[in-house]
Chains A and B, each alone.
Chain A
Amino acid sequence: MTRWAMTVDLRRCVGCQTCTAACRTANATPPGVQWRRVLDMEVGEYPEVRRAFVPVGCMHCDDPPCMHVCPSTATRKRADGIVTIDYDLCIGCAYCALACPYQARYRADEPRYAYGEPTPPEEARLDRGRLGVATKCTFCVERIDAGLAAGKTPGVDPEATPACVNSCISQALQFGDLDDPQGKVAGLLATHRHFRMHEELGTGPGVYYLWDRADG
């Protein structure tokens, strides 16, 4: 089996938002719709305070609450772990947005442009099918599928890898098959201490946050 998953090395992330910007352009999302973003978090009180940068987005959960609540079955989970949305089926009730504990979902009802009026790339890339429906990070599923069809390996070959991972300048974001013991993701998880966001909710996120070496 294949289970696509992402690792986020919190030791490496610098909060630069390159992934945020790369995702926005790769997926042509409208202003404000950040399928991937990096949070700037503070923990503690002065002077004992720490600051961390935490990339978030759809966690592609094993047991996605968004899918369970979806009344139209627009949200589904593929056998390879990717949670998808059928834009033609979605009624735009936004219930999934409330069910998601990671605030990964958006709904834009009207076309929105960076400067009010559409620029040529915005005009060319406007997908009216994504208006009024739920959208979120897809793990760049089209790239993965096209890459696999072309014999590429997601997480290794850029053509088959999510745009945010490709863009990451600190190599904090990595992608691969969780079920491949020889793969990058499984290797990182084996050698590092990690957690998943809101693990207690039992959603089984497919995004793992590394925070120390396993031997640390």
Chain B
Amino acid sequence: MNAPERSGKGEVRRLATYCYQCVAGPDLLQVKVADGVATEVEPNFGACDVHPGGGKVCVKAYGLVQKTYNPNRVLTPMKRTNPKKGRDEDPGFVPISWDEALDTIAAKLRAIRETGLLDESGYPRVAASFGGGGTPQSYMGTFPAFLAAWGPVDMGFGSGQGVKCYHSEHLFGEYWHRGFTVSPDTPLCNYVISCGANVEASGGVVGVWRHANARARGMKRVQVEPHLSVTGACSAEWVPIRPKTDAAFLYALIHVMLHEAKRERLDLPFLAQHTASPYLVGAHGFYLRDPATGKPLLWDRRRGAAVPFDTPDTDPALEGAFHADAVEIGPDRDELARGRLAGEPAFAKLVAHIAPYSPEWAAAICDVPAATMRRVANEFLDHAQVGATIEIEGRTLPFRPVAVSLGKTVTNGWGGFECCWARTVLATLVGGLEVPGGTLGTTVRLNRPLSERLASAKPGPDGFLLPPLNPTDKAHWSPRPNIRNAYRSMVPLAADGPWSQALGPTHFSWMFLDGTPEGLPKVTPPEVWFVYRTNPAISFWDTPAVVERMARFPFVVAFAYTRDETNHAADILLPDATDLESLQLIRIGGSKYVEQFWEREGFALRQPAVAPRGEARDFTDIATELARRTGLLDKYNAAINKGAGGVPLKGERWDHSLAPDRVYSRDEIWDRVCRAASAELSDGAESHGLDWWKAHGLATKPFARTDWYLFPTMVKQGLRFELPYQERLWRVGQELGRRLHEHGMRWWDKQLAEYQPLPKWKDFPGEWERAMVAQGGSAEAYPFWLLTARSMQYSWGANAGVQLVKEVADNLTGHKGVVINAGTAARLGIADGDLVEIATPQRAVRARAQVRQGIRPDTLLLVGQFGHWATPHAKDFGMPSLNTLATMSLELTDATGSGADIVRVRLARVAA
């Protein structure tokens, strides 16, 4: 792989490396280097049998050469000379030496250590924001070790989380089936209902690869979405649904399955044995429990009696009304009833709950014909093959080749919970959750261990997975959060795992700077804020407000590729060596984000293909120097030893640990990490160093395909999926309400209403219409729904300044303006290419009209996240962003702490 070849001009080398510029990675590639200059990116065909996307990389990776040589890069450390901050202030950056830059930062940090790591509100004085759905971690070398050595750091200043992610899916997916992201088992699935999921844009190489194969094989995908996205384009059918009404659509499908289809078409054994469907629900909405053991009861038709759920050899009833000697336990362990209690199976509750939600009911809400919904529901059932099995790696497993996938704005904000619940219920009704062909979780981020999804599935109470909930009981709940976004206090489902800080209501950190609501300690600006590979001034919602707030931060350290809208507020710019210039080893394989299901697992190396430009430095060297200068070297090395570099350096049969007091070079550190990775892969038999990894690029071992599915683990552990009834959340919500009210906190009451055992349809689009009224507008005056959609060419890539990316992305609709329905445009006298204004009562942006047929007449689409005003090259695009118009607000925050990418706007042609 590294063997040099001679070209006509000189030496040509091909170096293996990885691309993890989007959450759907990592993917593997080769960089062609001629005479020390990176010239081309190519797939790594040597890894085509390892990587589930044929060893290929997507368009973003082809921009890496330009990214490296972009003349707009920041190539020396710089400091701000204008103490005033704000969009209209010129920062007056001047070059400084690395020594000056690092000394300045270290002095700030040492001063903080002397005064205390937490401020008077109890919040960390140091904060850090990284964007890209966790991808920056694959580029920041050993910086996590520095952060670990430091102590408490507030990672909860959002840069996109909550509105740009799949928030309810993350939280509920992990809760129900360890699915931080949820995917169809595409290689086996035959029928997918895709509500706004944009896998062709956000599924990366592997997503595109798998779905293309599935389409050619004959998989039918029905895309339910207000505009004809690239994924809609590649689907068998497009259903143009009214924005934010997907829950009604999904409820109607459940209605057809429960009230129109014959019962035996459902997977009744799965419901009875592998879900909470037979658990008896009492008068107060809580499970009837065995008075002796506290275990939920079910009605055993074989015995004709109520028995604890884990009684062997039962034939549980799913419908009917029963009486049992039981106890009903409410919030805070309150005993609500005891004795001979009446109860109904949870499934029967579901059937009754869903009765009003017929396709005819939904048609009026969704603007989708009832017949379409009825047909889709029946096609789903037809394709489900209830009762079928499949043999995988010698094991016989249920085979249910149907799935429902959900998109960003569908799973975010109000209605997100209902959609996630309905999707997962649809899967359970046909026994299609976590089985071959069905709906699968791919990875975990809130539960541990991060790299082993199945191992994270630990037994919890009541026969369910251990719920990763933050405490709501009086003894453990606290109104003094650990970080500013208060996820531990406000969002039980956000858990307290590795990524929880970033999955709380991350806009609270920004919002509450202007007034902290009652009960929480006053939210303060962090004294030092590290920013890397993120641009919240562009990527968050309500970006003008974010820009204004970050201007108040006293000391901002930005690892800067080019100048941008966020580092406009920086005090120090540090040029880090970029993708093709720096060194890191990461884990690959297993099952990762989105659609990355591998049959191998192991490690891949990102190696310097070329020397860093200018004075750019490898992130590991920067982290080491910061650790040394702040007196944290021993803790930093210890963190690396513990695994902050991705691999613990010491195992049962190997020890490549760093000495605590020594300064190691980048190559020395990663040589140790490489050796530990080799040892982990070979159970200690090998200890290949950095040179071996540079030559080979990656190393893997088999990952069982059966490990894509959680179902066998659930069966092995005797666990049930906590569906369809949400008794625990019903309790948790009430407990949280009590805690908040005990502290005078009434501002979360609307969100508390979301804790329901069976979620009701509410007028979700109305939330945004009412918000418009609150802003001084009206639904009639602002008649359009402005939406956004991911751009595959840009999403997560921090590559808006790369010319090649802009050039090729412009070949696709939506990259040069706002997409408008042709009929609407004609009605408003707007022609393709005309300048139009999109406005809320507060703000307005301008864009060129892209007049198309593939969008609802009441919907406008602004693809991607542009609106740059500082980033070189990107600031000349003339493309606005929905983020400029969206406003952060408590009213538009759902119970999980997320909002959605949707705004009511008006539209008018700008007079020439």
Please report A residues at the B interface, Cβ cutoff 8 Å: 9, 11-12, 14-18, 20-22, 24-26, 28, 31-32, 34, 37-40, 42, 44-47, 49-53, 114-117, 119-122, 124-125, 158, 163, 166-172
Contact = CB atoms under 8 A, between A and B. Distances in A.
Contacts of B803: 31, 114-115
B842 interface: no
A208 to B, nearest CB: 15
Interface centre among A26, A51, A169 (most CB of B within 10 A): A169
Interface in B840-866: 852-857
Given A14-B208, A24-B804, A119-B71, A46 B822 contact: yes
Contacts of A49: 228, 238, 853-854
Interface in B408-425: none
Interface string B797-834: 00000011101110111000000011100000000000
Contacts of A170: 208-209, 211-212
Contacts of B112: none
A38 B810 CA distance: 10
B65 interface: yes
A42 B822 CA distance: 12
Interface string B619-636: 000000000000000000
B212 A31 contact: no
A166 B208 CA distance: 15
Given A11-B215, A17-B809, A169 B41 contact: no
A163 to B, nearest CB: 8
B808 A34 contact: yes
Contacts of B41: 22, 25
Contact of B53 (A15, A40, A51, A169): A169
A32 B857 CA distance: 33
29 contacts: A12-B216, A14-B200, A15-B812, A16-B792, A18-B58, A18-B59, A20-B808, A21-B804, A22-B62, A26-B40, A31-B804, A34-B808, A38-B812, A40-B812, A42-B228, A46-B823, A46-B854, A46-B856, A46-B857, A47-B240, A49-B238, A51-B813, A115-B803, A119-B70, A121-B69, A166-B42, A167-B42, A167-B57, A172-B212
Interface string B62-105: 11011001111000000000000000000000000000000000
Contacts of A34: 807-808, 811
A34 B9 CA distance: 25
B213 A17 contact: no
A31 B807 contact: yes
Contacts of A120: 37, 69
Interface in B258-290: none
B692 interface: no
Contact of B233 (A15, A24, A37): A15
Contacts of B811: 15, 17, 20, 34, 37-40
Nearest to A47: B240
B743 interface: no
Interface of B is mostly: mixed
Interface centre among A17, A22, A49 (most CB of B within 10 A): A17
Nearest to A166: B43
A157 B638 CA distance: 47
Nearest to A21: B62
A167 B808 contact: no
B326 interface: no
A124 B9 CA distance: 9
B34 A124 contact: yes
A205 B15 CA distance: 37
Closest 4 A/B residue pairs (Cβ): A51-B233, A170-B212, A21-B62, A119-B69
A117 B71 CA distance: 8
B62 A18 contact: yes
A49 B34 CA distance: 47
Contacts of B852: 42
Contacts of A114: 66, 803-804
Nearest to B610: A120
A115 B873 contact: yes
Contact of A51 (B39, B821, B854): B854
B43 A158 contact: yes
B777 interface: no
B43 to A, nearest CB: 6
Interface in B625-671: none
A114 B803 CA distance: 6
B657 to A, nearest CB: 40
A167 B41 CA distance: 10
B904 interface: no
B291 interface: no
B853 A14 contact: no
Interface centre among A11, A18, A120 (most CB of B within 10 A): A18
B62 A25 contact: yes
Contact of B70 (A32, A40, A115, A124): A115
B169 to A, nearest CB: 22
Given A24-B808, A53-B233, A169-B58, A44 B853 contact: yes
B45 A25 contact: no
B148 interface: no
Nearest to B64: A25
